[in-house]
Structure 1
Amino acid sequence: MIQKKLATFRIDADQWDAFQEWARRSGTNASALLVNYIEQCLVSTPSRLSHFPDRMNKNLDKRLDSLEQRLLFLETSLEARIQYLVQQHIATNHHQSLQKDENNQP
């Protein structure tokens, strides 16, 4: 005989009510959904993201995309800034070289 254990946890009352209603509309109940979820977790290998529901994985994907875009923008901005500074340095050295030549002419 399989021994069953009553599990309790704290959740926002409105969220619990909404979850129970969602489960009912899905043709099941909240307890069955949670037991099913736990069973699925136990037959798969844990990973760093396995504790996140799909919705959170999608949010993470969006955040990663956003971070990649920001990184690309920063890289592009940094490259442009470096190029500008190098050109400015070259122009300054060229100007100083021309001034030295003018000062050394008889």
Structure 2
Amino acid sequence: MASEKVLATFRIDPEKWEQFKNAAGNEGANASSLLLEFVDWYLDGNRLRGKESASPTPDNLDEVIDARIAALLDDRGLTAEAMKERLQESTAYLAHGLNDVVRELREKIEAVEQELGKAKAR
């Protein structure tokens, strides 16, 4: 049964169809294979974003970014609040490690300055 195929047809502007076929050919594919890939991609739960979100402008950039982040978080079963908490935890962890490095560097600088002071005194 899996080998049975249906011929699907749809209407499209002839110039647009030629452009699509040429673009597919330039990528080493053909129009049919790309359309089949799209169908599989779509059936896997992926969705296209609207034209507004696909082409942000300076006026809607913040909304577009927020919408895309929200969609990505939603796809992963996360909320913005949960992600914010994770980021805060990561930042605190990294800041703690950075403070340790800065402390070690200060100690080394002080030791070098002491040695220089002793060398100058000689």
Length-normalised TM-score, structure 1: 0.48
Larger radius of gyration: 1
Length-normalised TM-score, structure 2: 0.42
